[in-house]
Structure 1
Amino acid sequence: MYASFFGLSQDPFSIAPDPRYLFMSERHREALAHLLYGLGGGGGFVLLTGEIGTGKTTVCRCFLEQIPADCNVAYIFNPKLTVGELLQSVCDEFGIPHGHNGPGEETAKDCIDPLNAFLLRTHAAGQHNVLIIDEAQNLSADVLEQLRLLTNLETNERKLLQIILIGQPELRTLLARPELEQLAQRVIARFHLDALSLAETEHYIAHRLAIGGRHGALPFDRAALQLVHRMTHGVPRRINLLCGRALLGAYATGQSVVDRKIVAKAGTEVFGDLPAARSAGHPKAVAAGLGLVAGVALLAGLGWAMGVKLPWTGASPTAASSAAGPHIAAARPAASQASAALAATATAAATDHFADLFTTLPRAEDAAWRALAADWKATPDAAADPCEALPAQGLQCFRSTRTSLALIRQLDRPGLLTLTDAQGRPAYALLRGLDARNATLLVNGQPRAVPLATLALYWRGEYATLWRTPPLDDRLKGEKARAAATAQWVSQQLATLPGVATPASGAAAGDSPRERIYRFQLAQGLVPDGQAGPITLMLLNRATGVAEPQLQK
């Protein structure tokens, strides 16, 4: 209904699980890392908990997309089952035939025997098996005990079934019960998914609006964003409900920018008369305004359904109020109209200003690389590709086409952003700083603060940077010798980090370098694979104090 009014091609705040709107905060990435770590954990239980709407299903969906092809998955989303129904469901999900021979009903043994045979057969073929149970807080104690017994299916080397339990916080309380202590001791990784911070809430809103087709600044002012976070407590599903209703309220009154008052009204409609809503204005005024918003929204909906274009759609905020009638104009005092006009003017000016700056950015990537190398006090040969020349100075290039701002913050180093204008013309900007609201770009030798919402119009995730390689002996010859020396350096660095060098309580003896890398990656919120790739080495450099340039905060 309000999409075209705000320059959107579709509703960005639908609560339907659309993968195009996937937003992975640092917490979500860490939760995903725990699930992936569990795949190599040798069996047992992995636990993921979180409040309703915090994104557990989003993480699980992303996890399923990254599971290797040699992994068989059984997914149970209705856990209100008896022991017999659970075993039947597990067999059905894995595609295992089961049944009862002779008189009487099917027993647990009729399912466990073919399941065990399946697990042994797939293990011999080099395959892994994972059972995922969603809404696991609804599992009964006897079903949980049966799940524990399933993890007894094993060979001499490893357990044959990995079980992942996903549920609300009550699941943690359930597993703390004395009768389930044996199961709790088999949990090899657990993570509680917290809600988004204020900064992450802003990024989440900006992300969904950008995917929905919005160009330009956010249609929420600063105070509105703060109130959205306070009323939703940073829970993504609640953010979607509130922001969608707030945009509808702004559309209904012809306002191009959502302010605190609109958010408060929308919050009362969606969540009830919350304290956060009452603090935004007098209760009676809020209640009176709700009738107006609801009435105009209903009118807008009827007009939209009947194919009638209402007077204020497509018009400027001021003209919209007048055309809609005196009662709507009265709901928007002159001060509010002036504020909206000023905000729209400032947004347009900021966007136009960066459009002018964009034309001055270098179009040659080599020139931008040399500016980045200067931050590292490196001097690549002018006639050579910088990424080929810099290794001789102990530096390596890193490139990615799908980088998030969260990862850039974590890597914490200057880098090159590939920007593209509306005509598809590329340019290159040196990123020198990053905070919650702005990116600092080097333009014509001068630092320029660019709002993240504006940057999102030009940047699609292409990022490149440098990192300092391990200090190896120059006399080493051959790829194998250098790889062995690098592995030894990584082990030495990891040995200096608490909690990485020493295995966790209960870990098997003979802790391997790969397992130590796993633990380090997990602690850093990376997707763990036990391999020391460029991102892992960059974060290892940062954790151990290797001298490298850092972003300005």
Structure 2
Amino acid sequence: MYKAFYGLSDNPFSIAPNPHYLFLSDRHREALAHLTYGLGETGGFVLLTGEVGTGKTTVSRCLLGQLPDNTDTAFILNPSLTELELLATLCDELKIAYGDNPTLKQLTDHLSRFLLDNHSKGRNTVLIIDEAQHLRPEVLEQLRLLTNLETDTKKLLQVILIGQPELQLLLKRQELRQLAQRITARYHLLPLNEDEIALYVLHRLQVAGRFEPLFTRKAVKELQKYSGGIPRLINLLCERSLMAGYAQSRVPIDHHMVRQAAAEVLGEEEPTQNRYLWPTATAAALFVAFGVSYWLFTDKPVNAASASSRGLESTPTNVAPLNMQTLSATEETSKFVQPADQQNNQTTQSSIPDPSQRLLNDAINQSRDIDTAFAGLFSVWGKVPYKGLTACQSAVEQGLSCYQQQGNWMSLTRLNYPAVVYLVDDNQQDFYGAVIAVDGEQLLMQLGEQQLWVDRAWFNQHFSGTFEILWQAPNLPMMDISQKSSPGQLQWLENALAHVNNRNARRVNQFDVQLENDLKSFQSQHGLKADGIAGNQTLVRLNLYLSQQGPRLTDNGVRS
């Protein structure tokens, strides 16, 4: 219904599992690593727990995709079974034939012969049980007895138990202590934090074909507050927020829409636990207000070094506001410099506002609207945004594309494009700036109508992790490059990776191990899924480095 409105090719927030939308946060990767380690040569039981909707099944499916080809797997989704039913289900999963009305001993004998035969063929056998908190103690004990079949070095049956936190309590029971001692690896999967939620939402939007930002930073904060970091709830809230935005014909999705979605999906205006914080918050606010009033009306000495401690080079050089309409990347800009001896000698002064700090605060207050920051970015490209269109729509009308990325100082400077950056002030209020140039450890940033040089420490303190660039995307269609691609496509990929890594390109005519490893390394370094397939997101990132069009941070020159 709303896909065309947002420029989506698919529904990005469906709660149905879809491998194309697989997103592995650092927590999920760590969980996957624990499971993989637990399925090492020694085998045994592996335990993965987590709250409902945290992505346990996603991790298990990802693990299945990474198991070697010589592995036979049995996946049991409904473990509310008796001992006999569980062994029969396991035989069905492994395609082991058995007669009518088998006994427990007959099923155990069939499974033992299968495991021994598999081991003689050099094959492994893995049993994965989802929702394992529903297993009965006697069924778990039967599984333990089944894993008694072993060689001198390994278990012949490896079992992965996946369940909710109640599974941990179940395994602490006295009669299951022997099984608990056989767990070789365990991991409790926690919900996503705010930064991971932002990456999760961005990832799903990009897979669905939208690279233009859609959710504001405040909206992400609301997603974290109402969902608690549970991916399933995030999907429900995002889905309902998109419907609300479509109904109102509004872009981007802001925190008000997320709150409305939470009221509809969860049936409450705010998380229950936050309601009990209001008395404390009110008392704290009154205390802070009293302290501020006391400070304002009491003469106190001010340390002059405090202005520069934020990382802004703060000297009282006369600075005139720059006109946004006439600003270009080559114009003379103001630079705040405070001599080191002045910083060391000037320890106290009367409570006169620091002019450089006042100038900075004024610039920040002029930068609350992201469109102002985009106007500065368009100016660097020698263009202006169109009235009545969003910044990215204006870019498309002028032959450019928007690209949003999550990262840090290194991500921004390595990409080397002027960018709009999402920032947060000392009061946790959003503001936006345009990064125009970089000089060593300093960035030339435009805030409102003012250009200021800021250092790395100040930038890292205020940067929220999101930035957007304009670039001239290639007109040619981007087709996935993999093992089955033509020699010409493989050579292009080798040339692109060599260019990024500043090395000489090799002659390739097949997707060899070195090309695959270089591709996976590039994907890992840029937060992409390291699957060894150059899909749309990987190709966009490579073309960003290959493009010769437009200004760059290091030289501010337009490449032809």
What interval of TM-score do these two structures reach, taking the shorter chain for normalisation? Answer: 0.5 to 0.7
Tell whether 2:424 aligns with 1:428. Answer: no
Q: Out of 235, 240, 253, which is 2:235 matched to? A: 240
Cα separation, partners in 2 of 1:198 and 1:190, compared to 1, 3 Å: same
2:178 to 152, 174, 182: 182
CA distance in 2, matches of 1:410, 1:90: 33
For 2:248, the aligned partner's letter is T
Alignment of 1:51-62 (within 5 A): 51-62=51-62
Distance 1:4 1:51, change over 3 A: same
Letter in 1 for 2:121: A
Q: How far off is 1:215 after superposition?
A: 3.3
Residue number in structure 2 paired with 1:400: 519
3-state secondary structure, aligned to 2:546: strand
Kindly state the Cα deviation for residue 230 of structure 1 after the two structures are TM-superposed. 1.4
- Structure with greater proportional helix content: 1
Structure 2 distance, partners of 1:266, 1:175, is 38
Matched with 2:120 is 124
Deviations 1:273-309 (A, max 9, x none): 14249989xxxxxxxxxxxxxxxxxxxxxxxxxxxxx
Q: Give the direction of change, closer, same or farther, for the CA distance of 1:182–1:279 in structure 2 (3 Å limit).
A: closer
- Could you tell me how far 1:348 is from its partner in structure 2? 5.0
Between the aligned partners of 2:99 and 2:495, the Cα distance in structure 1 is: 67
Q: Structure 1 residue 55: deviation in Å?
A: 0.9
Structure 2 gaps of 5+ residues are 276-367, 375-388, 396-400, 403-417, 419-468, 475-491, 508-514, 531-535
The aligned counterpart of 1:313 is none
Q: Compute the displacement of 1:106 (Å).
A: 3.0
Match of 1:462 in 2: none
Pick from 237, 244, 253: which aligns with 1:249?
244
Question: 1: CA distance between counterparts of 2:274 and 2:547?
Answer: 43
Deviations 1:178-235 (A, max 9, x none): 221110000001111111111111111011111112132x221111111111111111
Distance, in Å, in 1 between the alignment partners of 2:198 and 2:39 is 33
Matches within 5 A, 1:193-272: 193-216=189-212, 218-272=213-267
**Larger RCO, structure (CA 8 Å, separation 6 or more):** 1
TM superposition shift of 1:167: 0.7
Could you say which residue in structure 2 is the equivalent of 1:38?
A: 38
| Cα distance in 2 for residues equivalent to 1:364 and 1:65 | 25
Mapping of 1:379-418 within 5 angstroms?
Answer: 385=504, 399-401=518-520, 404=523
- Report the alpha carbon displacement of residue 18 of structure 1 after superposing the two structures with TM: 1.1
Q: Which residue of 1 aligns with 2:442?
A: none
Is the contact between residue 15 and residue 236 of structure 2 (CA under 8 Å) also seen in structure 1?
A: yes
Aligned residue identity for 1:259: D
1:154 aligned residue: 150
SS in 1 for 2:518: strand
Distance 2:177 2:149 in 1: 19
1:141 to 137, 140, 144: 137
User: Following the alignment from structure 1 to structure 2, what is the Cα–Cα distance between the partners of residues 149 and 278?
Assistant: 45
The one of 413, 418, 443 aligned to 2:552: 443
Secondary structure at the residue paired with 1:443? Answer: coil
Deviations 1:370-412 (A, max 9, x none): 8966xxxxxx8xxxx3789xxxxxxx9961158556775999x
CA distance in 1, matches of 2:61, 2:497: 38
Letter aligned with residue 198 of structure 1: E
Taking a change above 3 Å as real, the CA distance of residues 371 and 406 of structure 1, as seen in their structure-2 partners, is: closer
- CA distance in 2 between partners of 1:2 and 1:407 (Å): 30
Q: 1:445 Cα shift?
A: 3.0
Whether the 8 Å CA contact 1:419–1:427 is kept in 2: the answer is no
Deviations 1:145-195 (A, max 9, x none): 111111101223322100110111111111112221110000001111111
What is the distance in 2 between the residues matched to 1:418 and 1:239?
Answer: 22
In structure 2, the CA distance between the partners of 1:208 and 1:116, relative to structure 1 (3 Å rule), is same
Residue 110 in 1 paired to residue 106 in 2? yes
Q: Does 1:275 align with 2:270?
A: yes
Could you say what secondary structure the match of 1:272 adopts?
coil
Question: Tell me, what secondary structure is at the counterpart of 1:47?
Answer: strand
Q: Equivalent pairs: percent with the same residue?
A: 45
In 2 relative to 1, CA 83–397 (structure 1 residues): closer, same or farther, beyond 3 Å? Answer: closer
**In 1: Cα distance, 2:543 partner to 2:40 partner:** 44
Amino acid aligned to 2:86: L
Q: Kindly provide the amino acid, as one letter, of the partner of residue 196 in structure 1.
A: L
How far apart are the structure 2 equivalents of 1:442 and 1:358? 14
**Aligned counterparts of 2:49 and 2:67: Cα–Cα separation in 1:** 20
**Structure 1, unaligned runs of 5 or more:** 281-337, 374-379, 389-395, 412-416, 431-440, 449-553
Alpha-carbon distance in 2 for matches of 1:259, 1:81? 47
- Compared CA separation, residues 446 and 349, structure 1 to 2 (3 A): farther
| 1:161-176 equivalences in 2 (<5 Å) | 161-176=157-172
The letter of the residue matching 1:86 is L
CA–CA separation in structure 2 for the residues paired with 1:189 and 1:367: 40
Looking at structure 2, the residues matched to 26 and 267 of structure 1 have their Cα atoms a distance apart, in angstroms, of: 26
1:92 paired to 2:92: yes
Counterparts in 2 of 1:146 and 1:446: CA distance versus 1, 3 Å: farther
CA contact (8 A) 2:23 2:200 kept: yes
Report the CA distance between 1:11 and its aligned residue.
1.1
Check 1:278–1:349 CA distance in 2 against 1; reply closer, same or farther (3 A cut). farther
2: CA distance, partners of 1:3 / 1:365: 35
Aligned length: 350
Q: How many Å apart are 1:29 and its aligned residue? A: 1.4
> C-alpha separation between the residues in 1 aligned to 2:15 and 2:111?
37
Give, in angstroms, the shift of residue 98 of structure 1. Answer: 2.1
Aligned to 1:50: 50
* 1:435 matched residue in structure 2: none
Contact 1:429 1:442 in 2 (8 A): no
Counterpart check, 1:25 vs 2:144: no
Does the Cα contact within 8 Å between 1:81 and 1:139 map onto a contact in 2? yes
Distance apart, 1:367 and its partner CA: 11
CA contact (8 A) 2:245 2:257 kept: yes
Tell me if the contact between 2:471 and 2:544 (Cα under 8 Å) persists in the aligned partners: no
The one-letter code sitting in structure 2 at the alignment partner of 1:111 is L
Provide the rounded CA distance (Å) in 2 between the counterparts of 1:107 and 1:447. 79
Contact 1:267 1:277 in 2 (8 A): no
Q: Which residue identity lines up with residue 546 of structure 2 in the other structure?
A: Y
Contact 2:500 2:545 in 1 (8 A): no
What is the distance in 1 between the residues matched to 2:218 and 2:208?
A: 23
Shift of 1:358: 7.1
TM-score scaled by length of structure 2: 0.55
Q: Which amino acid aligns with 1:251?
A: Y
CA shift at 1:421, angstroms? 6.2
Deviation at 1:75, TM superposition (A): 1.0
- Could you say if the C-alpha distance between residues 132 and 406 of structure 1 is closer, same or farther in structure 2, counting changes exceeding 3 Å? farther
